[in-house]
Structures are given as structure tokens and as C-alpha cells.
Amino acid sequence: MATCTDTEDALAVRRTHVQFDRNLVGLDRIVVRGALLSMVTFGVYRFWYMTELRRFFWSRTLIAGSPAQYTGRGRELFIGFLIATAVFLPIYLAIWIAALSFPEIADFSTLLLVVVLYPLVQYAKYRGRRYRTSRTSWRGIRLSQDGSARVYMSKAVGWTMLSLATFGLAYPFMRASLERYRIDHTLVGTSRMSSAMDGWVLVKPWLIFHLFSITPVIVAAIAFLIATDFTIPRDLFVPDLAGPPGKLTINEDYIETNVVFSAAILLVTVLICLLLAISLGPFYRAKELKAFLNAVRLGECRLESRLKARTIYAAYSWYALAFAGFVGLLLGITSVVRPALTQVGGYTPTQSITLALLVLAYLAGAFLLNLLYVRVIQVRLWRAVAETTAIENGDVLEGITASRHRVAGALDEGLSDAMGVGSALEAGL
């Protein structure tokens, strides 16, 4: 008769752990050089910088003892970005010209831009993932992604409309549906992955997030609309005659009315809920990422994640402390040297040197914060996700064979980068 210990030992034999190589030699050089060259080239070098970062993190991720490889090139990203910009620029210009030509739609130009661009953003995100997937390989076996970006875009738009109609309550099911589509169309060689993700798994953490960071805003917004009889007065804000041109102030006729009071309540509620959203964001993200990973299958092989929210909080807390300390130091230095720099009569040689040193201190601080962000947040999050993930029935990986799927073009990633949704690093699949 098999004992519990025998069962656990057998399970341990079949479980393969994902590892992260903690040897970070070379990372500082990549970050400093990438930030410096991106600055002097006005952002052009960032495509090569992203490529180097991906190659570094991919190579430090070990699956069954073998590292992943990233084969993308910076030149591909740059060319793809130029092509995508040529595609999207006419859309921006058309909306801008329409707003100038038809004043009646000028007030709605921002909304029009969101309505037009949001579906394109979802389309670009799927195409961008296709590029990154096709440039990822393991033991010489290349990953790929099929499926339709248009179908993904339609799903995202439909679920977004449903989420808005339900005040965000359908959001977990939207995330689950889109995750299933992405994973179900991902292949490792000739083997197709699948996802058993169920939106109900995310309902509890999302309701906690919703209750503290979204529900109060909805209630305050409804109260504001009731106070204004669902019609916001056009003369609520009037030009400030005592201030500079273009400055607005609240119309005195509304100062002691429920309109201004409810508007003030709404503003305070939004600010408080924004802070709560920032505080609870890592909690929900950890729960979501853990659920996503636990739902991934590759035949008989499945992932098992033990990711904890406190790991994500720890990374962001260390960076927040470093950022606050840096800002405090700069404010202190600025308060000391500012009186000497604002004296009338021009800059003396000493003042000029002081100003130059202050500018250099700001630049050095920006480079340091960028380095800290990569080391403290990105490294810690990547490592946490990797080291808390195991592969059950990992021996199945030995039977995976390579495929001859077409490699995605550079335009795929260029689209996502042109739309501002390209990501150098993102923990998870």
C-alpha cells in the first residue's frame, strides 16, 4: 500500500522547477548604456536597449535546466516602428483636422480619439505578442502564435463595452477570456498550449479591488449627477478676470449650492480611490498572474504557481523608498542653492558651476532611478514569478519537436510600440 510520503516523492519526481539565474553581471552596463544612448539619440536607441534587456532576462530564465533564448533584433523593432508610425499618423492627423474643421465636434475629439484608437491598441497588443513569441526559443525549439488579431480585437472591444455597462464587474471575465485566447493560440514547436482559465477565480480579488477603488467613485459620480439633475451647467466654470488669460474659476452663483459640494466630494473621492488603487494594484495583479499561470497546459504538462502578493509589494516598496529618498535629496539641494542662483545681476562663475553641477545631479539621479527600477522591480518580479513556478509532468517537454511556423514580421512589434503598448519586459506568459 502506497504511503503519503511515496505519493509526494513521486509527485516531486514529476515536477520540474523554473529557475532564475541570479548572476546579474552585465545588467548594469546594459541599463546605463541603454539609457545614455537613448537620451543622446532622442529615443532611437531604445529599440536596441529593449532587445538587450529581453535577451538578458530570457537567458537567465531556466526551464528544466535549459535557458530560454531571445532572437529579436533592435533593427527589426526600429523598422517596424517606422512602418507602424506611417500607418497610424494619418489617423491622428484626420481626427485633428476634423476637430479644427468642425468646431461642434472639437469638444468630443478626445473621446473620438479613444473610440478610434482603443480597438487598434488591442490589435497592436496581440500582434506585438506574436512577434515576441516568435523570437523566443528553448533548446532550439521556437515558440509561435497563430490566431487572428482581428478576433482578439473584437473580443477585447466587446468585453470592454460589457465591463463599462456593468461598472467594471465583468472585468475578471474579460481578462480570463482574452488570456484563454492568447494561450490557446500559443505553440511550443508543434505542441499547442491551452488555458483552463475561469473568470470566477478572479472575482473575489477583483471585488476587493473594486470595493475600495472603484465603487466609491461610481457612488460619488452618481451623487454629482443627481445634484446637477444629470445636466452639468455650462457656466459652472467662468474666466477668472483677476488671473492670467485662459484661467478659469468656479462661478460664484454655484459656490453654496449642492453642485459645487458634490463636485468637491467627487474630486476628493477620486484622489483617495486613486491612492487605494495604487495600493491594491499589486494585490490584484499577483492573484491574476498566479491564476493565469495555474491555468496553463501543454498536453499532460501544466504549470503550478505559488506567487504571493507580498513579493510584489516588497519590490515596489523598496523602489518607492529609494525614489522618495532621491526626490527628498534633490529638493534639499535645490532649496540650498536656489537663493544663490536667483540673485539679480547675472550668473557669476561660481553660480554657473553650481547650476551645471545641479543639472548633472538631476541627470545622474535619473540614470540611477532607471537602474534601480530594472534591478529592484523588474529583476525581483521576474525572479519571483520564475522561482515560484513549477512544471508538473515536466518530462513531457522532452518529447516536444520543432516546427516550421512562419516567423512574425517586425511590423507586429512596431504596431504595439507605435501605439504605446510595447513592453520591454512583462512577467508571465
pLDDT tens across 408-419, in order? 665 666 666 665
User: Are residue 276 and residue 313 in the same domain, yes or no?
Assistant: no
pLDDT at 399: 78
Which has more confidence, 261 or 57? 57
User: Are residue 251 and residue 131 in the same domain, yes or no?
Assistant: yes
Cβ contact 268:256 at 8 Å: no
Q: Which residue shows C-alpha cell 523608498?
A: 321
pLDDT tens across 70-90, in order? 999 989 888 888 888 888 888
User: Are residue 269 and residue 333 in the same domain, yes or no?
Assistant: no
Helix runs in 166-214, H state only? 171-184, 200-213
Position 14 in a domain:
no
pLDDT at 8: 52
What share of the chain in percent tops pLDDT 70?
A: 85
Cβ contact 23:358 at 8 Å: no
**Structural domains in the chain (count):** 2
pLDDT tens across 247-277, in order? 777 777 777 777 788 888 999 999 999 999 9
Q: How far apart (Å, rounded) are the C-alpha atoms in residues 263 and 228?
A: 10
pLDDT at 327: 82
Residue 13 binned pLDDT confidence (cut-offs 50, 70, 90) = very low
Position 205 in a domain:
yes
Position 428 in a domain:
no
- Which region among 131-140, 191-200, 289-298, 401-410 has the lowest average model confidence (pLDDT)? 401-410
Position 373 in a domain:
yes
User: Are residue 45 and residue 134 in the same domain, yes or no?
Assistant: yes
User: Are residue 313 and residue 292 in the same domain, yes or no?
Assistant: no
Cβ contact 286:311 at 8 Å: yes
User: Are residue 355 and residue 326 in the same domain, yes or no?
Assistant: yes
User: Are residue 339 and residue 272 in the same domain, yes or no?
Assistant: no
Position 59 in a domain:
yes
Residue 198 has pLDDT above 90, yes or no: yes
Position 427 in a domain:
no
Residue 50 has pLDDT above 60, yes or no: yes
Query: Residue type for 294, please?
Result: N
Q: Taking Cα atoms as reference points, which of 84, 221, 59, 69 lies closest to residue 141?
A: 69
Question: What is the mean pLDDT of the segment spanning 293-312?
Answer: 93
User: Are residue 65 and residue 183 in the same domain, yes or no?
Assistant: yes
Owning domain of residue 331: 308-387
Position 426 in a domain:
no
Residue 297 has pLDDT above 50, yes or no: yes
User: Are residue 89 and residue 119 in the same domain, yes or no?
Assistant: yes
Residue 1 has pLDDT above 50, yes or no: no
Q: 66 — alpha (psi -120 to 50), left (phi > 0) or beta?
A: beta
Q: How far apart (Å, rounded) are the C-alpha atoms in residues 229 and 351?
A: 59
Hey, CA dihedral for 173, 411, 42, 368, is it positive or negative? positive
Question: What is the mean pLDDT of the segment spanning 379-405?
Answer: 85
The model carries a pTM of 0.85
User: Are residue 200 and residue 78 in the same domain, yes or no?
Assistant: yes
DSSP 17: E
Position 324 in a domain:
yes
Q: What is the grid cell recorded at 157?
A: 472591444
pLDDT at 113: 84
User: Are residue 321 and residue 298 in the same domain, yes or no?
Assistant: no
User: Are residue 106 and residue 195 in the same domain, yes or no?
Assistant: yes
